[in-house]
């Protein structure tokens, strides 16, 4: 199975900060990587797919990059509504795998 390692597991940031989260796959997954945002008690929301394609309706301050094994989610200017947990997911092969999550907290 493809292992997905996400880091950091948590971070503290202030509104307006630039935030970067990374995911590393244990093997080449091309660009078959998605990023999700989840708030407490609510289902995950798709932010980015194909490593860098913004899902419809998602603010442009979110961006994704990478291919192969190394991927990055960047929030360019953190807003209050962005405090949440973020997950990456590989959809290159089965079993599908998620990263362990990154909780973005208010500093």
By CB under 8 A, tell whether 68 contacts other proteins.
no
Give the per-residue SS3 of 11-57.
EEECCCCCEEEEEEECCCCCCCEEEEEECCCCCCEEEEECCCEECCC
Contacting other proteins within 19-48 (CB under 8 A): 32, 34, 36, 38, 43-46
CB 88 within 8 A of CB 63: no
Nearer Cβ to other proteins (1/106): 1
Q: How far is the CB of 41 from other proteins (least distance, A)?
A: 9
Q: How far is the CB of 61 from other proteins (least distance, A)?
A: 20
């Amino acid at each position: 199975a493809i292992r997905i390692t996400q880091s950091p597991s948590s971070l503290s940031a202030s509104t307006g900060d630039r935030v970067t989260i990374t995911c590393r796959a244990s093997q080449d997954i091309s660009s078959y990587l998605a990023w999700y945002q989840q708030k407490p008690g609510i289902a995950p929301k798709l932010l980015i797919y194909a490593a860098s394609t913004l899902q419809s309706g998602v603010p442009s301050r979110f961006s994704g990059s990478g291919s192969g094994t190394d991927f990055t989610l960047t929030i360019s200017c953190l807003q209050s509504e962005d405090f949440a947990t973020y997950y990456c997911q590989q959809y290159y092969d089965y079993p599908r795998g998620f990263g362990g999550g990154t909780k973005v907290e208010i500093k």
